[in-house]
Structure formats: C-alpha cells, structure tokens
Chain A
Amino acid sequence: MPAEPLDPSASDPNGAGPAIEVSGLTKRFGERTALDGIDLQVPRGCAFGFLGPNGAGKTTIIRTLLGLTHATAGSMHLLGHPVPAERSQALQRVGAIVEEPRFHPYLTGRENLRLVAAVRGPEVRSLIDPALARVGLSDRAEDRVKSYSMGMRQRLGVARCLLADPLLLILDEPTNGLDPGGIQEFREMIRAMVEQEGRTVFISSHLLDEVEKTCDAAAIVDRGKIITQGAIADLAAGGEARHELIIGVDDAQLAQTTLDASELVLETVPSHEGLHVVLTGGPETAAQLNTLLVRAGVGVMRLEPVRHSLEQRFLQITSRLDASAAPEEVRA
C-alpha cells in the first residue's frame, strides 16, 4: 500500500505549500504511455529522491515539469505557480540539470555561466563568481569546458543552477560519472543546501544507496506510475512506519508464546537469526519486551532493531511488478 504523502508544509517555513505538486500527469508518445496519471507532492526544504529503474519515466516527468516537453494531461505546480500557465514566474527560482549538464565546449566555464546569466536577468551576473566558488571551480573558470572532466561539468552544472538562487533544484542523475570522492562531495553539498540554506532538492536517480544517503523522502516510480512515496525510513519499512526486532533467546518456543500474547507485538516469526518480531509501537517498546521475556524466564542473548534498506524495498516492489506483469506479457 502506498505510504501517505509527506505533509507538504511540514518543512516549509513560509507555509507556502509544496515545492512540486503534480496531479494526474500523463504523457504519451504516440501509442506509448510514458507517464500514467502521476500524483506527486514534494515538500519544501527537503532533499527528495525520485527513484526508478532506467526507462521508468523519471526524466520524462522532469522534462514535463520544466516545460521542455508538453504534458498530455494533468496539472502541475512549481513553487506554487501553475505550469505551464505561469511557467516563467515558476522557473525564476528553479535551477535544473536535465539528463547530463551540457555546455558550449569551446567557451570557458565563466563564459557559459555568462550566457545563462544574460538570459536570467541583469542582476544575475553578480552571482557568477560566488557560484563558481561554491562548487570549487574558481581556479578553472577561465578554461574551456572541453577540457573539463565529467565531475567538473557536473559541478559547473550546479553552478549554473545556483545562478537562479534556487528555492528548488531539480537534478537528473546528478552523480553519473562522478568518482567516489566526487559523490561524497556532491552529497555534502546537497545536504548543506537543504539544511543550511533551506533549499528543496529534487534528485532523480536509479542509485538507491545514493538516494538513501542523501534524501529525506522519496517516491518510487516504475512504468510511468508512482508506486509509493514517503519518508525514506517509512519507504524502507514497507510503506508504513513499522519497527522490527531480531531477538536471540535460549528458548525460542517459550519466547514466541510469550511475545504472541503481548499487545506490543504484531507478529513473531522464527528465523535463522532468532525471532523476527514486528512491533505494534515504536522502538522504545524493545525495553518492555526485554523485561517481559526475562520475567517469563527466557534468556535474552540478542535484541537488535532491524535496519531496512531502501534497496530491499525497491527490489521487492519492482520484482512484484515484474511478476504481475509477466502473465500479461506471456498473453501478449
């Protein structure tokens, strides 16, 4: 079951609604449906991951939001502005990298930023130097972009986004081509933008680990549909904020009987690691369960919260979808 969308104004200091709000968004390319009635809300002031396998529709939704291609149906709002009706106002404070950052290779990094500054407005030119400094490219600003590495181009792409002094950054596969050090730097920069500057960052990616480490919330998209969305921890737990424990005991049968009789426990399943216990409450109930077991005469050797990985959840969802799609494909 899809998780409840996050409260759109939860992180919004101005209470001005979600950074991105999409309802019933559909995009067809001829017979093929790339986006199929997408509903999505991205709260302000967070890093939001948009996860999906290749070809799921991640880039299409970004291109549609930014007005690079037209929607077939549905409504969209960026920073409270309806798009495409108020596209110009909406995009004034939006920075975006779509697919990969592209530049005129024969111009320098600074000249490429000058081009965008000229289009954005006269006051933007003063933001070029701070943007270059922010991404660590001040000393290479006068070099032609054709001499830049992929990582430097990614950073220059972020600098170009910063020229908008963006309330919302939309980054499409931003860590593609970065080495581990570059990915770490990039992650830190995103977190600083969110935590210190209050910007909203929307990251499309197929790298689950990256989204889990960088983002506060995420949506999983596959075959043009949002499968689930919510806070990362909730998504990883299976769409609900479930808390689970692995409990190692000396008498598994007595322990299971004791736990099954408790209102604190939803489900107990024996496993090779011990008893896998699903709690009805929060993690604080672990101590109560420990007391309960000890009083029942069970020796507790291990009591450990289960750490859910987004990757497990993602694979679970997509493999389920594959399984449900298979009979149709066979019939087709």
Chain B
Amino acid sequence: MNATIATQMFGADFLKLRKKRSTLIWALVLAIVPIVIFFTVNAIEHASSSSHEAAGGINSFHDGVRLLGGLFFGPLVAILIGVEAGTTDSSDGVFRDLVVTGRSRLALFATRVPAALALCWTVIIAAYALIVLGTFVFASNLPTPSGSLIVEGLGFVLLATGVLCMVAVGFASLIDSKPGAIIALIAWQVIASPLISSISSLGSGRNFVLTQAIAHFGPAGIKDARGTEVVMSGGTALIVILVWLAVFLGLGAWRTRTMDA
C-alpha cells in the first residue's frame, strides 16, 4: 500500500467518523459543555461574591486541564470516537464490501487509528482552546499560565486522550460490539482504574493501570495532574503505555484479519 492510497484511506475513515453526527455531537458535548459550565458557574459565583476568586487564572487552567486530560470528560470523548472507529464498518455491514476490494484487512484496520486520533484530537484541541480562552478572559487580576505551561498542558491532554482513543479502537475491533466496548471501557476508566489504584496492598501491580502511567506524564507545573496514588519511573510508565497499545492494537488487528466478514 503506497502513501497515496494510505492518505485516501485515512481521508475515507475520517469522513465516516466526522459525518457520524450522533458520535460527533456527543463528543463535543462531553468535551465542551463541562468547560462552559465550569467557567460559567465560577463567573457567576465571583460576580455574586467578591470573596470568591475570579473564574479564570492559573488555578482554573489547572482544573480545566485535569477535567479534560486526567479525569472524566476527555477520556470519554476518546472512548466514544475510538469505539466508533473500531466498529462502524462492521456495525453498518460494509466491512465485507471493503474486504472484497482485495485490500488487506490489516490496512483496513490500520487506517482506523489515525482517523480516530485526528477527530479525537480535533475535539480535544477545541475544548483545550476554550480552557485557555476562559483562563485569560476571566483572569481578572489573577496570574495566568505561561506559554510553556500551556504547551505542556496541551501535550498532556493529547497524550492522555490519544492513548485511550487507540486502545478503544483496538478493543472495539476485538469485541466487535459498540455498546459492549463503550460500557466496558467506561467501566474500566471510571470505576475499575481508580478502585485498583487506591488499593495499596496491590503494590507495584498498580503500575499496570493505564491512567496511572499516563498521569506520570502530567506537566509538573500543573498541580495534581500527576497521579498521586502510584509512583513509578518515567521508563516504567512509558513501557506500560506501550504495552497497553501493543496488546490492544495487536488484538484488534488480529480480530480484523481473522473474523468472518
């Protein structure tokens, strides 16, 4: 497969994802609405009580980055889009029509990943831009984040959501069920991961929790962006992330290659 075909296939997969209105709307709602609510509520509180600090500034920036990257909403966006990319051909019944073109099934799987990343990051960048905008617009007399911190924060949210998005593509391709993949991944992300991370008796076994490995790369300048439950080295965190990607992308590719279409 040459670069021209790869580019065309990426464009085709991106088209499928961006035109899927329900997924795109939910992704935008999950990424942007919490941030809008966050700044709106803080602005109202600040307006009604001078003892409440301004809605913008460095602290709001920290909260926004944690909201988008480390906690709930960014990962949810990544899961929604990754699962959609992993299952849309199969659930719409067109996977077999792509297979009968003679194109390798691995190539069909491989192009889902960058397409999902492209859409996920587009949404996340839009939400991140909103955080930065709110941080400065509502800063009043509070300090604002430096340029390097803004770049670091962006890198972190892209890493956090990008890794989860790729895992979601692989997992959804593996189990070939959109509802099943969404439920399982959200349950893992929201319930199982924090629970396992908080069980100190598991010791270094908790290193294998993906969110803890990702949190290790949270910007040092953003308070609490790094995971607090589990301490691991940068090398270990990197290896854990790569293992997660290799396992789930590998299983997704294997399933796509061998399944009856």
Residues of A bordering B, CB below 8 Å: 63, 66-69, 87-92, 94, 96, 98, 101-107, 111-112, 114-122, 160, 164
Contact = CB atoms under 8 A, between A and B. Distances in A.
A171 to B, nearest CB: 12
Q: What are the 5 closest A-B residue pairs judged by CB atoms, nearest first?
A: A91-B102, A102-B93, A118-B12, A118-B8, A68-B261
Interface stretch (B16-24, B40-48, B135-143, B185-193): B16-24
16 contacts: A68-B96, A68-B100, A69-B261, A88-B103, A91-B102, A102-B92, A102-B93, A104-B94, A114-B15, A116-B97, A118-B9, A119-B5, A119-B98, A119-B101, A122-B5, A122-B8
A120 B1 CA distance: 10
B108 interface: yes
Given A88-B103, A88-B104, A119-B12, A106 B97 contact: no
B104 to A, nearest CB: 7
B92 A68 contact: no
A98 B16 CA distance: 21
Contact of A111 (B15, B88, B101, B104): B15
Given A102-B92, A118-B9, A107 B16 contact: yes
B19 A91 contact: no
B100 A98 contact: yes
B233 interface: no
B16 A91 contact: no
Contacts of A114: 12, 15
Contacts of B11: 118
Given A103-B94, A115-B98, A122-B8, 7 more contacts: A68-B260, A91-B100, A94-B100, A107-B16, A111-B19, A117-B8, A118-B9
Interface of B: 4-5, 8-9, 11-12, 15-16, 19-21, 88, 92-94, 96-104, 108, 260-261
A120 B103 contact: yes
A116 B97 CA distance: 8
A269 to B, nearest CB: 50
B108 to A, nearest CB: 7
B91 to A, nearest CB: 10
A91 B101 contact: yes
Contacts of A164: 101
Contacts of B101: 91, 116, 119-120, 164
A119 B261 contact: no
Contacts of A104: 16, 19, 88, 92, 94
Contacts of A122: 4-5, 8
Contact of B19 (A88, A101, A106): A106
- B20, B103, B260: which has the most chain A beta carbons within 10 Å? B103
Contact of B102 (A63, A90, A102): A90
Given A88-B103, A88-B104, A115 B12 contact: yes
Most buried by B among A69, A119, A160: A119
A87 B103 CA distance: 9
B19 A68 contact: no
Given A66-B99, A119-B108, A120-B103, A106 B21 contact: yes
Contacts of A111: 15, 19
Contacts of A101: 97
A128 to B, nearest CB: 13
A89 B93 CA distance: 24
